[in-house]
Structure 1
Amino acid sequence: MPSIPSLGGLRKVTSRRPATARAPQPVPAYVVDCAVYIDGERLPGQWSYTDAISEVRSRHEGFVWIGLYEPDAEQIQGIADTFGLHELAVEDAVHAYQRPKLEPYDDNLFMVFKTVRYVEHESPTTANEIVETGEIMAFLGKDFIVTVRHGGHSSLHDLRGKMDASPERLKLGPAAVLHAIADRIVDNYLAVTEAIEDDIDEIESIVFAPRGVVGAEQMYLMKREIVELRRAVLPLATPLRRLAEGCSPVVPEDVRSYFRDVEDHLTRVAEQVASFEDLLNTLLDAVLAKITLQQSMDMRKITAWAAIIAVPTMVVGVYGMNFDYMPETHWKFGYPMVMLVIVGVCLMLYRIFRRNRWL
């Protein structure tokens, strides 16, 4: 995806107060990082969230980016009071398990992303889990962005490093960080769908192989994982469209067009997920038809063997009645002849069933 170009040439140069060295501040465990950005550059030192926002507002420029990891209600309350976060959005951020959405509150936005990760496995026919989901919530204001992460796979550490190395992007403000997060998450969607496409291709080749065996349970597992992916992807389209259309003044015009690009990529992912569902429905029908056919063939085999076994059973049953006047009972070759007749009839039935492909 294209990177946001520098607008430094269009900005008025403002006086900047020199950054002072700061003594290390104690950082709570749930705070992953707290940084102050002035004119796209990260100020050195460790910051508490109160000192960070005071620094930005005293300069009347820049913004604060705070990253949190699974905070509880008590831990996030101080940040909510300091930045004026709405209590309903804070409650959603703490409890998680939200659908992707965008909610405006006064002069800030609350956005929810569902993150996905492809779970490596030896074969899709034996995997217990294929897609793992998490969540990233973002509170966006004119001079801050607070990200709340749920799930072990959705780290933003490397993204923050890339943003720190691109001050021309950070000059656009906290909305540029929100775009970078959306861009990263949708890129992960693309990577996951490509990996799942390989799994579905492998399953398809097994299903239509002459002796391929794929259970209906595994097909339902794949469908469940695709449904989980769809729940992460499809609801995100509307929030991205609203951001691109300018639903809030905290997202400047310079950033809105880049959300349109993310939305285009999301549309591609949504189309792939829809095609996966259609293909899996077809493969599931094929698996069920194959199971039905196999059951029919097994029943024919059982019937054929039962017919063959019925011949010696009937003959032995008749001779087991112990009558004195049974045919050939006192003849020297009577027993071998009966056995020969039984074997002959059984072989004749076996050939008939083999010719008709019952055996």
Structure 2
Amino acid sequence: MPRNRLYRDGTLADEDFPVTEVSRLLKDEGAVVWLDLCGPSESDMAAIADELGLHATSVEDALESHERPKLHQYDTHLLVNAYAVCLDESSGRLTTAEVSAFVTPRALVTVRNDDRFDMDAVVARWDDSSSLAGSGVGFLLHGLLDFVVDSHFDAVQAMDDHIESLEDLVFAQRPNTVDMQRRALAMRKSLVTLRRVVLPMREVLNSLMRRDHSVVDSRMVPYYQDVYDHVLRASEWTESLRDMVATIRDTQLNLQGNRLNLIMKKVTGWAAVIAVPTAVTGFYGQNVPYPGFGTTSGFWTSTVVVLVLSVGLYGLFKRRDWL
């Protein structure tokens, strides 16, 4: 069932009335209507379009999924498309919830494909700032966009904390490389998704605040400006986080290279130390007579040579930090 509200002269007058009453209620010059449709059919949208005179292409866009955030202007209304987001901190994956809004001079119609978009939170914001309800549709649209942008800001902040934990893992004594790579890749994908829904919101808010649109009155301008500032901060923060993820990946590769070089250095040093007794014993193992062949003195001579050279090489490599 569609949800709706009626504001009359800046005061909440009615809720959940029949949709067929919308046209009658809007005949009152002081009335402002909000109508919410979750998963509407084409026939439902056609009925609303007839009631409010919505353009066919805007209705088509509202029913389509994965539209980019945008603001389209038509003769009788505006179409706003936006996405609220939520970050799963355990996996680093970002989920999006799409909402479309038809904005007419005295009606706001929100359209959602499913119930992932938390409209209850938007309604709570309207109730918390009910003193601004006299601004009509501008007040309703502000609460909707404020919720959307705040979800972007919360996601960016959570991503920042997640990336800081990744930075700590990079310099761990024994890092879990596979888990770190998986989390870094998931975070990078989430940042790409977030950037795709955040950056266009600057144009949406900037266009709404232009004087050629009558949606935002002088009373609501500071509140829209505050939302716009949040959009700018979220977009700039998103760009910086992309750089941080790339830096973490480069740092991880550099550390892996350094660890590999250190291991190879130590292995090579031990191989050089072991090569000495191998060479000496190999020489004395020849099947030809040599000084000390077949005598006890020859055995001890070879043993002393092996020990002296091995200990000498070990001390030399240790002093030069090769072992």
- With the shorter chain as reference, the TM-score category is 0.7 to 0.9
1:263 positional shift: 0.9
1:318 positional shift: 4.5
- What corresponds to 1:97 in structure 2? 66
Write the mapping of 1:1-359 to structure 2, written as runs, cut at 5 A.
27=1, 31=2, 33-44=3-14, 46-51=16-21, 53-71=22-40, 73=42, 75-121=44-90, 128-149=91-112, 153-164=116-127, 166-207=129-170, 209=171, 211=173, 213=175, 215=177, 217=181, 218-318=183-283, 323-325=287-289, 328-332=292-296, 334-335=298-299, 337-359=301-323
TM-score, normalised via structure 2 length = 0.84
Structure-2 change in CA distance of 1:149 and 1:341 (3 Å): farther
- Quick one: distance in 2 between partners of 1:299 and 1:259? 60
- Quick one: distance in 2 between partners of 1:80 and 1:309? 86
Structure-2 change in CA distance of 1:295 and 1:90 (3 Å): farther
Structure-2 change in CA distance of 1:49 and 1:328 (3 Å): farther
SS in 2 for 1:59: coil
Structure-2 change in CA distance of 1:83 and 1:336 (3 Å): farther
1:163-198 CA-to-partner distances (Å, cap 9, x unmatched) read 246543223222211111111222233333333333
Structure-2 change in CA distance of 1:289 and 1:63 (3 Å): same
Gaps of 5+ in 2: none
Q: What is the CA RMSD across the aligned residues, in angstroms?
A: 3.0
244-253 or 103-112: which moved more?
244-253
Gaps of 5+ in 1: 1-26, 122-127
One-letter identity of the residue aligned with 2:16: Q
SS in 1 for 2:257: helix
- What corresponds to 1:5 in structure 2? none
What number of residue pairs does the alignment pair up? 320
TM-score, normalised via structure 1 length = 0.76
Is the contact between residue 42 and residue 164 of structure 1 (CA under 8 Å) also seen in structure 2? no
SS in 2 for 1:137: strand
1:219-249 CA-to-partner distances (Å, cap 9, x unmatched) read 4443333333222222111110111113433
Structure-2 change in CA distance of 1:148 and 1:326 (3 Å): farther
SS in 1 for 2:81: strand
SS in 2 for 1:131: strand
> Percent identity of the aligned residues?
30
1:47 positional shift: 2.6
SS in 2 for 1:245: coil
- Quick one: distance in 2 between partners of 1:351 and 1:150? 73
Q: Which has the higher helix share?
A: 2
One-letter identity of the residue aligned with 2:147: R
- Quick one: distance in 1 between partners of 2:48 and 2:290? 102
1:70 positional shift: 3.9
Structure-2 change in CA distance of 1:80 and 1:342 (3 Å): farther
